[in-house]
Structure 1
Amino acid sequence: MKVRICPLCDQPMKKAHHCDSCDSFIWKPLYMDIHYNTGTMQEEDCSYDVKEHDYEYHDDGSVTMMPSEDGQRAKGRKFRGVKEIEFPAQERDKNTRQKSSAGTTRKKGGCFKMLIIFFVCFTLISSVVQIINAIVWDVISEVEPMNTPEEDLAIELPYDDDAASTKDWIDGEAERTDLTVEEVRNGGSECTVSEHMDVTLDDFTLVFEPLAAEKAAIIGSLDSYSEETDNYAYHYEGTSLYTYFNTYRMYDIDSDIGYYYDVSWDTYSGRLHEVAYDIYDSDVVEEFFVITMEALCGDGEAHRNEFQKQRSIAETEEYVFFETDGYEVYINYYDGSDGFDISYYVSIVKVM
């Protein structure tokens, strides 16, 4: 009779494509022919396993097993009354490849599972770290609360806050406080931003106005003027205090001479900050410079030649800076290319 043999475990198969011994699906089992010699085996010798057998292997993979009285007893183990036999090398190799292939598939599946496990673990660890960081920052915020902008700006002015004007604007970390003339004078100090000349307004006008009257034929009349003041304290980043105390006098000049002649000084001390003017004609701007320097340092004519030289440079380069007798002079030349009058703007300040 023919018996199905599992190629994986070499055990008999009761089902067509399933081996109960190794619990495997077998698409193509091996077949073994078993023949019994009833003429020679009786009573207790009826089992085909008690005699030595001869085996015959066929090309289709089947095996013929015949009891032999002379052959030696076949090697193998007994499983459920059927002898385990040695199959040809070709069949063994095929079985080995099937087992290896199954093992490889299982290994690849294991790597994929490891990747999934690693990704899940990484995600969990990242979430835990973020939660811990959030908790730590909350604790720090409660222990050391950050200063508010109002606290950063709460610096003391050198004046009476009750008397000072209301704060006009707050922009980010900067704060400005406008001050009246009385508040500035009660403050007891000059402003901290502008450089201060050694000449006060009274000293300057005492010399300048008589000279301007003598040169009226050239520079026009300067008999009238207007004044205004602009004083404020400026807080920056809550740590620094800057003060601007400026009072201006703008002389009215003839419209065919220029735009203005302006003198500014410190509201508290009266020391000059700047003298600036904007004039059309090159000769007139030179005369203004000479009488201005006469009022500032006592010898205006000594600076005429230097001014002429620097004015020529400004007419070529558009502007120029130069220093003379402790003062910094800026000349800006406008050539009238936009349809306006040609003009010379001159600013005189103390050298920093």
Structure 2
Amino acid sequence: MKKITVLLLLAALLMTAGCGAKQPAETPATPSPDVSVPETEAPVATPEATPEPTPEPVPDCVDAVVQVDRSPAILTLLKRGDQVDVVGEYDDEHYVIKTELGYGLMEKQLLRISGEAPYASWTGYAYGGAGFYDNYQLRGTPAATLTLNTECEVLDELDDCYVVKVGEDIGFVAKVQISKNYIVYTGGGGGAGTGADGGDISLSFGGIQRLSYVAQSGDVTGTATVLADGAPVVLGYLDRDEVIPVVAEEGFAPEWDGYCTLYLDGLYAYVPAEFVLQDGDEAYEVWSGYAVYGARVYDNYLLRDAGKTVNLNTLVAVLWDCGDFYVVSVNDEICYMATSAVSKTLIATGGGGGGGGGGDTDWTPPAL
């Protein structure tokens, strides 16, 4: 019994010792060092680089040589009734106008400025054989030849011709070929006169002043109406012997039948192919001809104005052939003559007088 009591006491002591043992002190957590968080700055927008404009492709070009003074480099052709923006006067003969393709020159005679009174149309009568042309320059073969007293509704007046309507067709007839009165012949010669012969006078032309390419800028100051079909907007006029760049590749600009395409100062323009010696063409063979009776020479290829009369059989050096006119040298001056005014052979002056032949007149000298 005594043993049991001792054992119980020992057990109690052991239990007391176990319960009273100190628990190991908890190690305090090491405080985390302060973390410095940088302030977030608003991102600065980097300006996008402006892309460089893609340069327009430049066509391959070949050189050509202008043969006719004041050859027009045409930007576009306008129709009768088109409305255009006018920038202002360029000189006595031209306005500067603005089109979708750029700025150019147009002859004043081809425009009616807004606010001007419209032309009062009237009925005229054609002289027999009058040419009815499809162009206001009256170049080339007429579209039709009018019979005597053909009625013409005169719609507008240009410098050298009328804009007329014959039937349903609109065209151009020289002023001297239209009468305001019904024509009745009472005998003698007929037909419209072309002015009196001015007599034999020496040549004395002023120099031709080149018009530079039109600046591609300017404020619009008004509007105008185009009076004639085929009215050219001209980028500039070209001098004889000027070297010009003719486009040699396809696909850069529309092609015009009968014209060379030019690349001038970043713009495309057109010049009549017959006015230039193109790359690969043979040089024109100059030949000598003779002025027919009453022949006139002009300082412009349109043969406008009165011209100057030259003597029968005046020696003419033919430098270039454009079909309806020649570029010629007379007394060492460059001028222009109708092809019908130059004979390839000397014209007989004996006998009953004179009428000279056309460009292919043949003459056999009399036997001595």
Shorter-chain TM-score: what band?
Answer: under 0.3
* Larger proportion of strand: 2
Compare CA radii of gyration and give the structure with the larger one.
1
* Larger proportion of helix: 1
TM score, norm. by length of structure 2: 0.18
